[in-house]
Every structure is written in structure tokens, then in C-alpha cells.
Amino acid sequence: MEVRIPKRTLAEGLSILERIIPNRSSNPILTYLPLELNQQGLILRGTNGEVDIEVQLPAEIQGVGEVLVPAQTFAQIVRSAPGELIELIFGERLELHSGAFNTQLATTSPEGYPKLNFDRPDAEKIPASGLAQAITRVRYAASTEEYRAIFRGVQLEFSATGLRSVASDGFRLARYDLPLSLSSKKLVIPARSADEVVRVFKDASGEVALSVNEGTLTLVGDAVKMSVKLMEGEFPDYARVIPQSFVLEATLPAEALRESLKRVAVLSDRNNHRVNLLFNGHKLDIDAEGDYGRGREELTVESNGETQLMVAYNAQYLIEALTPIEGMIRIRLSGPTSPSTVQSVDDPGYLAVVVPLRV
Amino acid sequence: MEVRIPKRTLAEGLSILERIIPNRSSNPILTYLPLELNQQGLILRGTNGEVDIEVQLPAEIQGVGEVLVPAQTFAQIVRSAPGELIELIFGERLELHSGAFNTQLATTSPEGYPKLNFDRPDAEKIPASGLAQAITRVRYAASTEEYRAIFRGVQLEFSATGLRSVASDGFRLARYDLPLSLSSKKLVIPARSADEVVRVFKDASGEVALSVNEGTLTLVGDAVKMSVKLMEGEFPDYARVIPQSFVLEATLPAEALRESLKRVAVLSDRNNHRVNLLFNGHKLDIDAEGDYGRGREELTVESNGETQLMVAYNAQYLIEALTPIEGMIRIRLSGPTSPSTVQSVDDPGYLAVVVPLRV
């Protein structure tokens, strides 16, 4: 059993797995990396108990078989290998040759390693980059609190009109719509696992096949298969917190607002990060005051509706709501203490809801 | 009292001070930044109790005076200021204007801030970059142990033949010679303070004036003044650990040896990082063995002396001894268990001593 593979191909494959394979585990076999040779090439696998990943790498193969090697050590060796090509010879020890460098690495029998299963007959395909984008746009709004655990996930809603992603922590909400035609299902991915889905698929071209079975989402891309344990339950009805009527609407560049909020927020109260936004015709005055003094900046906006309105936000929440937006934003106020919406003028799929601070 | 100053100038000045001004302190006034206007321009100061720094910035000044502002908040505001120019108006509050952004920052009276004194009549000048280089080349060898506290410093020896810097942790030693003509003195700078000296002077052009007084080293450069509390005592006689006669001398590229050691060391014993070097004519075999297996690589060397010699090192120590060297290195062995020296072929000022591991 032998394989010859470009160092770069193998290193890229390992980089996909490295973050999920634990360095330490109460089940030490999970710190090992299964290396399998079969007709498809060299197969690498890993799991952290929540997310399973399998990577298939094209390689020059002789024979079939499988060994386990210590994952961290193997990855370090591959990264530091001096040659452009790496040759692996499977045996009681795994021999690795690259340039003038030779290693014999201790191996362990693949028995006892959990069976990872990625085969799903009922899969439906969506663009890999679109899936990653839908998660990325809303991820920031997910909760980090133990309280109401379901909000520690990102909800994905598949329907005949598309994929909708939603995240919320009860104080703000982010929603993203990707137009597609899909069969209906609703699921919640733990936010950390959602980060892994993004990391694996964000730069992938082509499509990813999705299927749900026994509380697990399976994603199959061109070279990577992934399965993710889902959270139980679903979000409470969030649609009712999205305001439908507004008293003021303003349009301005996202970058200018974001930078101004960051500057002014330096002076804000350390506890609630309060910034006051005074909409006044075509002017928007942003100010904050805390223990260290006061900051103030004036921006120009296009506005419709009430001529003057003061509203206060947690600056961090408003800044994060702007993060996914390039170009112009539209902010709509339903009143000084009722929820506001933030949207991208150029990307109608994105909507954020931010609740003002009480005066 | 007013000052107009380019944002970039002020931000660069603050970056010199920011690392030493504490974010929290049992003496809270040290978390403040003294801002002084005088005929020289805008003066910034800071101290962490071990290192005092004063930075003088060219600026357009009206009036003279001094205020204290919260250092961290002021630095954040300056960095995020939207304009290229910053205007400061001194008063009960410090007004900062930049573009459309305005701040009023709480100030504190400069009374109670420790007096920092940098004036020394007996100063002697040396090139700023040379001083930084002499410290940088040996810094890695300083100890981090409580035991033999003097080794937690970098010793600087000034004499008629030059500046010699030395660091050691008792197991290895690094020494660097910079040819200059100086009056004799010997002092030990705590390694962390030495890092600050390097940070401040490494990119400085021109000379720095040095003087020692009451256990303090004062360094005065073009725009920055610095004073550093010295350690008491000096290194024990280290010259006796530097071997004078050798049984084998080998020359090879530093980069190749460093990279090979890093690769092979991945497999080394986790406790002592042992790598074996077998010098054999024009071949150098490097190998290591640990719990996870064995690594081996062969390099080509130019060698004189014994035709075959095996010596074992802590890989980390040998790699660190190579760090300051570009181009070719010369390694000289005095025997399998007695100290070896590592030198740069191109930079005769550098010498490292590494003690082999016992067989």
C-alpha cells in the first residue's frame, strides 16, 4: 500500500480536518487521523463528536487499506516536509518520504474508530458558496448565553421560495434570504458547527447536496463530506418582532455609519455602550457620553418621514448589524423605543432587527 | 492652549508609549497619559515603573501647559479619528476635533503624576540600530526561571573595544560584539525592559546617548527619551564555559539546518526534544525518535577534524541558537558531551554556546 501525493494537496486536505480533530479527548482514538487508500484516492476523516468530516484527495495509489496516525504530529510533519511530493508507505509503521527527509510514524489499528456515515439518498443540491453566505450573514446575531439554548444556533428554513437563515439572541435578529426552489424543512445548526460549515464550503465551487436524517444534517460537496448534529427544537415565532410600519426611513453609506459609531462608541458608557442617534432632516447626529467624556459626529443622510427623531442603541449591536453590508444601508425606525430594521440597499436578502435602548 | 498635529504623527507617538502604560494599576494615575505643550512641541510620557518613556512630537502649538487624559481611551480615539489632522484644545476638558468628529475628554490634574527625569550630562553616543541589534541577537538565550534571577536580564558590557551583549540561562549562552570605542561600564537590563529598548530604537536612525546613574540607564534619541531600571549585580564569569579547542568544525547553510531540525524535532521526545547529529565526513545525519515514531534527514556539510562524531542536543536550543544567523553557520564541537559553539560565517560578532545532552 503506497500513495504519492503533492504536499500542497495533502496539506490543504489536513487544514480542513485539523480544526475539528481534538488535540486531547476522553476518547483518545479521536485524536488520531484515519488514512484510507481506496479507488477514489486518499481519504482523510475526522470528528469532534458534533461534526464529522471526510476529505477525498486525488493521489497516485497502489493497493487499498487503512491506518490511524496521530493527527497533530502527522499534520506538522506534512506542513514541514521539504519536497513538493510526499510518498506514504503503509505498514506497521507509516513511512513518509519527502526530499531528503524520512519518517517512520507509529500507527494504530482502525478498529475502534467510530464509523462515519455520509451516504444520503434523499439529497437536494444548493450552491456551496450560497449556503456559506446565508450562514455568514446572520451568524453574528446568535446568542452565547446558556439561557434559551436554541438561540445558540443558526436556523435554516428551506422552502419553495428559497433558503432563509436566521439568528437571534432575543435582543436583535438577523435574517438572510437566498432565492432557490427547495423542498420544505427547518433545522437549527449549533453556531460553532455552522462556523465549520462556512469554513469548509465558503471557497468551494459547485454545489453541495443536503439531507436531514435522525437529527443530523449531511452535506456532500465535490471533495468534502460533512455531517453535523442538529439542535432539537426550532426558534419561537420571530416574525412578530419584525416591525411592519415605520415613522422614519434613512439611507446612508454603511462604511461611514460603521466608522462613526466605532469612534463615538469609544466614549460611551462601558456597561450599555449607549449611542444616541438624532435624525434631523438630512442630518444624523451621533453622540455618546460616559465616564471619560463625550464624543459627537454628524453625518448626512437621505431621509423620509418624521423630521426629527431621537433613538438610542447599544453601539455594538448596531455596528454588528452593519457588518454584512457593503454600499448603502437603509435604516427604518418604528419609533424611539420599538424595533428598527437595518437593510442593505444592494442586497435585498439581508434584514437585521435591532431593539433601541430605553430612554 | 491649542495644538494641531497630523493624526499619523500623534498615532505613531502613542504607539511607542502604549505598550508600557498599564491598563490597570494599583496607582491609577499611571493609566493616564500626560500631554504637555511646550516650545519643543507636544510631549507625551508614560511609565510602567520599570521603564519611563518620553516622546517629543513636532506640532503647531499655541500656549504652554499640561493635562492628563485616560491613555487607552485617548489612543483609541486618535486611531479612529476621521481626519488627517487632529486639533486639541486644552481646558477643563480636552477637546479633540478631527473632520466631522468632536470629543470632549475628561482630564485630571498633572499633580501626583511621578516626575520622569531623562537629563544626563555624562552621556556617550552609540548608533541606535546597533544597540537594538546587539540586544536582539542574544535576547532569546535569557532565562525565564526564578532561579538565578540575574540570568533574566541581558548584560551589556561597554569598553574601549566595543559593546558586548550577553544572555544565558545556564544551559546555553549567546554573545554579540559590536565594535565601537566606549568608556568602560557593565550593566544588566531586565529582559522585558530590553525588549522595550529594541522596540523603541530598532528603526531609529541616528545615535542614542547613554548614561548610567543610580541604577538607571538613560537613553536619549532624536525624538524619544527612555530610562530603564537596571538589575543589581552582574553575570558570573561566563567566559570559562566558552570552549577554546575543538575536535570537529563543520560549515553549512543556517536555513537548511534550521528547517531540517524543525522537521526532525516533530518526532523527538516531548520532554528533552533530543535530536542526534551524526557528523560523518561530508554528511550530517539528523535523527530523532519519540513516542510517535522516528524522523531522519541527511544534509551535506563542509567539515574538518574528526571524521565521525555523534552529538545530541535539545532541538529547541540549537534552533534558537541559529535564529540570528542568515547565510552560512560554523558549528564547532569540543566533544560529544562538552560545549559546542555556533557562529555566523558572515557576522563575526555573533557567538552561541550550546551544551550537548548527555548520551
Comparing alpha-carbon positions, the chain B residue that sits nearest to A92 is: B293
CB < 8 Å to A291, chain B: 106
CB pairs under 8 A between A and B: 94
What confidence score (pLDDT) does residue B242 get? 96
Contact A77 B266 (CB under 8 A): yes
Pairing state between β B85-89 and B2-6: antiparallel
Contact A101 B299 (CB under 8 A): no
What confidence score (pLDDT) does residue A257 get? 97
CB < 8 Å to B72, chain A: none
B interface test, pick of A103, A258, A260, A291 with most B CB neighbours within 10 Å? A103
Comparing alpha-carbon positions, the chain A residue that sits nearest to B73 is: A266
Comparing alpha-carbon positions, the chain A residue that sits nearest to B256 is: A82
Contact A294 B104 (CB under 8 A): yes
Edge-to-edge order in the sheet of strand B308-314: A60-62, A2-6, A85-89, A93-98, A101-106, B293-300, B283-290, B274-280, B308-314
pLDDT for residue B128 is more than 80? yes
The single-letter DSSP state of residue A228 is: E
What confidence score (pLDDT) does residue A2 get? 94
Strands of B109-184, DSSP E: 124-127, 153-159, 162-168, 172-179
Tell me what the mean pLDDT of segment B280-292 comes to.
96
What confidence score (pLDDT) does residue A319 get? 98
| Contact of B194 with B153, CB cutoff 8 Å | yes
pLDDT for residue A123 is more than 90? no
What confidence score (pLDDT) does residue A152 get? 97
Distance to chain B for A262, nearest Cα, Å:
8
Strands of A139-236, DSSP E: 153-159, 162-168, 172-179, 185-190, 207-213, 216-220, 224-229
What confidence score (pLDDT) does residue A359 get? 66
| Sequence-distant (≥ 6) Cβ neighbours of residue B278 within 8 angstroms | B284, B285, B286, B287, B308, B309, B310
pLDDT for residue A293 is more than 80? yes
Burial class (CB in 10 A: 0-12, 13-18, 19+), B173: buried
Comparing alpha-carbon positions, the chain B residue that sits nearest to A93 is: B293
Q: What is the pLDDT of residues B50-104, one digit of tens each?
A: 999 999 999 999 999 999 999 999 999 999 999 999 999 998 899 999 999 999 9
What confidence score (pLDDT) does residue B123 get? 84
Strands of B138-247, DSSP E: 153-159, 162-168, 172-179, 185-190, 207-213, 216-220, 224-229
pLDDT for residue B173 is more than 80? yes
Distance between CA atoms of residues B79 and A263, nearest Å: 9
| Predicted confidence band of residue B30 (pLDDT cuts 50, 70, 90) | very high
DSSP 3-state of A57: strand
pLDDT for residue A121 is more than 90? no
Tell me what the mean pLDDT of segment A313-324 comes to.
96
Q: How far is CA A2 from the centre of its chain?
A: 36
Strands of B71-149, DSSP E: 85-89, 93-98, 101-106, 124-127
pLDDT for residue A117 is more than 90? no
Q: What is the mean pLDDT of chain A?
A: 95
pLDDT for residue A201 is more than 70? yes
pLDDT for residue B169 is more than 90? yes
| A38-to-A34, A132, A139, A217 alpha-carbon distances in Å | 13, 30, 37, 25
ipTM of model:
0.84
Contact A266 B80 (CB under 8 A): yes
Tell me what the mean pLDDT of segment A284-291 comes to.
96
Determine the CATH number of domain B2-106.
Answer: 3.10.150.10
Contact B267 A105 (CB under 8 A): yes
The single-letter DSSP state of residue A269 is: -
A interface test, pick of B7, B80, B284 with most A CB neighbours within 10 Å? B80
Exposed e or buried b per residue across A169-200, where buried means at least 16 C-beta atoms within 10 angstroms of its C-beta: beebbbbbbbebebeeeebbbbbebbbbbbeb
Q: What is the pLDDT of residues B318-352, one digit of tens each?
A: 999 999 999 999 999 999 999 999 999 999 999 99
Distance between CA atoms of residues A94 and B319, nearest Å: 27
Choose among A270, A274, A241, A237: nearest CA to A359. A274
Nearest to A297 among B101, B260, B296 (CB): B101
Per CATH, A2-106 and A242-354 having the same topology is answered yes
CB < 8 Å to B24, chain A: none
Amino acid found at A308: Q
What confidence score (pLDDT) does residue B359 get? 66
Contact A103 B293 (CB under 8 A): yes
DSSP 3-state of B138: helix
Give the CATH number of domain B242-354; options: 3.90.100.10, 1.10.3720.10, 3.40.50.920, 3.10.150.10. 3.10.150.10
Percent of chain B predicted with pLDDT > 90 = 92
Tell me what the mean pLDDT of segment B108-135 comes to.
91
Domain ranges in chain A are 2-106, 124-239, 242-354
Compute the C-alpha angle A111/A114/A120, nearest 5°.
125
Nearest to A105 among B260, B292, B299 (CB): B292
| Contact of A187 with A156, CB cutoff 8 Å | yes
Distance between CA atoms of residues B64 and B38, nearest Å: 5
Contact A266 B296 (CB under 8 A): no
pLDDT for residue A97 is more than 70? yes
| Predicted confidence band of residue A122 (pLDDT cuts 50, 70, 90) | confident
| Predicted confidence band of residue A291 (pLDDT cuts 50, 70, 90) | very high
Amino acid found at B316: Q
Q: Dihedral sign, CA of B242, B243, B244, B249?
A: negative
Which of the pair, B92 or B247, is modelled with greater confidence? B247
Scan for cell 437595518, then name that residue.
A342
pLDDT for residue B121 is more than 80? no
pLDDT for residue A316 is more than 80? yes
Comparing alpha-carbon positions, the chain A residue that sits nearest to B294 is: A104
| Sequence-distant (≥ 6) Cβ neighbours of residue B267 within 8 angstroms | A73, A77, A103, A105, B288, B289, B290, B292, B293, B294, B295
Interface of A with B (CB under 8 A): 70, 73, 76-77, 80-82, 93-94, 100-106, 259-260, 262-264, 266-267, 291-299
What confidence score (pLDDT) does residue A132 get? 97
DSSP 3-state of B321: helix
CATH superfamily of the B124-239 domain? DNA Polymerase III, subunit A, domain 2 (3.10.150.10)
Percent of chain A predicted with pLDDT > 70 = 100
pLDDT for residue A119 is more than 80? no
- What backbone phi and psi angles, to 5 degrees, belong to A128? -60, -45
**For A287-290, which contacts have Cβ atoms below 8 Å and span 24 or more sequence positions?**
A288/A264, A288/A315
Tell me what the mean pLDDT of segment A289-304 comes to.
96
Compute the C-alpha angle A13/A15/A20, nearest 5°.
110
